[in-house]
A and B are shown apart, each in its own frame.
Chain A
């Protein structure tokens, strides 16, 4: 059975309160916070980028597992902020992880769902017997133009998942994907900041695709929301995941453990993976997790996971190293708006 062998996450420790961004632009602090439902967001350090964040997450995933780096035979890194347009993030990360040379490497781009596309690709390669283990990483230092609505939530974080078939901590029971040409958010080659289409990013984009992938998964395996213990969704703001969970019939309790958005904002490609990791950090063996990512442009990947008795081994390792998502959320240093501009290379 294919599943998650191990996972690791990384959240840069710098935070900026949304109120500070609102003040800089003479916006009402309460209006902004209430509208988005987010109080603060993570910010990359001055020397951090998608490569270093992916490496931190990948290192953590290997540290918590029973496999060696050279066991990895596929490495896919999904990001909207690959430092190079041409020159792969995945080979830099693979080199520094010590994966060796006999692996397939690729950088993936599909807005915020590139990494879950990588997970599905690796799951297929493992299922076919072509490889034994692969690693999918979502890592971003999310871009946003100063004064754009995105500036309040675009964050930095990474999450890495080792997928294989031997002793998984969470079995992959089913998955679906739902895609269309829906240009709700984009960044053209050579352009520094993404553009978005306002409210168009809602109903015809996020909600249509997340619910499309989710309903297909429900139908394919005759699943009902009541049948699962947790749900996880991509979190562009605090409202959308709560709204889609309600529309699909999930309870607040099923959703709550995954809501990393409330504490660190939206780290684009890492968002839904970080939510999944937060759930795995506290799940018990034998529990099911329903997960749907979303990437603008647009598409969603849905997964149903079931945890196994080996999950506590990873949880114990993470407890010893204080690398639960919760720990990484709590380890923080606040910066002001000027420092934020400096660390995101805007000044």
Chain B
């Protein structure tokens, strides 16, 4: 394919910020957005007047809040009158918004743009949130009464049947990510878990227990990207977006040829590695989409970090845990499981974490000596996958 080749994009992230993630009952979506973008602009050392366009990643504002027209909604809040867009791709909305922003800069239409990921979920009843999230599935899945825990439980069962993956190995993902989250002041959870505690938590959709599942969360994250070399030179935060790739697959699980892999992740990753001119083993750090513990195991394999069937054991052995490995550290932010999962914000927050890590400003959770980071954001049960590769 002609786009699977090295591309020099010359696009840089010059500002990045995230709000606290969690049950933020007293904070409105407007305030979340304002805080994230204001902090990102401050980090970028530019004024809002230098922003030429706004890309908003969000999934549920219409179904839960009755508020569409989010581009103008948040542009107004930020005091901007620039082109503004809502980008929706289920839980990959944030990553997809960054991808759309990158393409707008690549086209030459804009030089400096803001990307905002934002979601407000905890003001709504859990059953309403679960119903709204099923908007990411197919009509058949909805009619059958499926929920996302149910769909990922089917994926977990398929992985267990094919590769002898165990429930304890899945639990080890939650234990690791809660440990990382305990070091992240912006994370929703700071409590440490044990495999035993995960195993004894209430069953949600067999074999997934409550502590295998990421939470419902509120939060926002923002990045400022630019192709303006003057800004990059002045700012000195020269985090290069080396690749931005998106792939899609069938919306529903039933239409997939195989449940032993998420093909969209493999395709997006393949394109991203080719465009960045790197191999999976070159990545030092990764933020991957662990909406359920089994999802991180799929991601580790489909991104090419481990052969199929090998990731679960590696995670269980601590090969991707901060402080226990000299190899790839995965989800140092705490991931979706520990840091929280405000769905539209997640994909942007992953990139913010990579920026903080690559700039060496991640505090006690800093991974040392890193040059390349990968962010992997998934929509639905794998129908959309977005992969970004950042370099310093």
Contacts and interface: CB of A to CB of B under 8 A. Distances in A.
Interface of A: 28, 31, 195, 197-200, 204
Contact of B126 (A31, A198, A204): A198
A256 to B, nearest CB: 29
Contact of A31 (B25, B26, B125, B202): B202
A199 B23 contact: yes
12 contacts: A28-B202, A31-B202, A195-B125, A197-B125, A198-B125, A198-B126, A199-B23, A200-B23, A200-B25, A200-B122, A204-B25, A204-B26
A195 B126 CA distance: 12
B125 to A, nearest CB: 7
Contacts of A31: 202
Nearest to A35: B202
A278 to B, nearest CB: 33
Interface in B150-199: none
Contacts of A199: 23
A189 B202 CA distance: 34
Query: Which A-B residue pairs are the 3 nearest by beta carbons?
Result: A204-B25, A200-B25, A199-B23
A279 to B, nearest CB: 34
Interface in B12-36: 23, 25-26
Nearest to B23: A199
Given A200-B25, A204-B25, 10 more contacts: A28-B202, A31-B202, A195-B125, A197-B125, A198-B125, A198-B126, A199-B23, A200-B23, A200-B122, A204-B26
Contacts of B26: 204
Nearest to A182: B25
Contacts of A200: 23, 25, 122
Interface in B202-232: 202
Nearest to A28: B202
A197 B121 CA distance: 12
Nearest to A199: B23
B164 to A, nearest CB: 28
Contacts of B125: 195, 197-198
Nearest to B200: A31
Nearest to A26: B203
A322 to B, nearest CB: 42
- Report which residue of B23, B25, B125, B202 has the largest number of chain A beta carbons within 10 angstroms of its beta carbon: B25
B124 to A, nearest CB: 9
Nearest to A184: B25
A198 to B, nearest CB: 7
A197 B129 CA distance: 13
Nearest to B26: A204
Interface string B111-147: 0000000000010011000000000000000000000
Nearest to A204: B25
A198 B215 CA distance: 14
Contacts of B202: 28, 31
A195 B128 CA distance: 13
A272 to B, nearest CB: 25
B241 to A, nearest CB: 38
B358 to A, nearest CB: 35
A112 B36 CA distance: 40
A31 B202 CA distance: 9
A204 B202 CA distance: 26
A297 to B, nearest CB: 15
A195 B23 CA distance: 19
B188 to A, nearest CB: 12
Nearest to A195: B125
A126 to B, nearest CB: 39
A199 B122 CA distance: 10
A231 B25 CA distance: 30
A301 to B, nearest CB: 24
Contacts of B126: 198
A41 to B, nearest CB: 22
A48 B125 CA distance: 33
A146 to B, nearest CB: 15
Contacts of A198: 125-126
A140 B323 CA distance: 56
A117 B125 CA distance: 30
B67 to A, nearest CB: 19
B22 to A, nearest CB: 11
Contacts of B23: 199-200
B266 to A, nearest CB: 38
B265 to A, nearest CB: 33
A71 B125 CA distance: 48
A303 B202 CA distance: 40
A298 to B, nearest CB: 13
B336 to A, nearest CB: 19
A67 B166 CA distance: 72
Nearest to A197: B125
B254 to A, nearest CB: 27
A230 B202 CA distance: 37
A204 B122 CA distance: 13
A236 B50 CA distance: 53
A28 B122 CA distance: 26
A107 B23 CA distance: 36
Nearest to B126: A198
A199 B125 CA distance: 11
Interface string B82-122: 00000000000000000000000000000000000000001
B240 to A, nearest CB: 42
A183 to B, nearest CB: 10
A31 B26 CA distance: 31
Contacts of A204: 25-26
Interface in B318-353: none
Contacts of B25: 200, 204
A17 B129 CA distance: 32
Nearest to B201: A31
A199 B123 CA distance: 11
A197 B122 CA distance: 9
B329 to A, nearest CB: 31
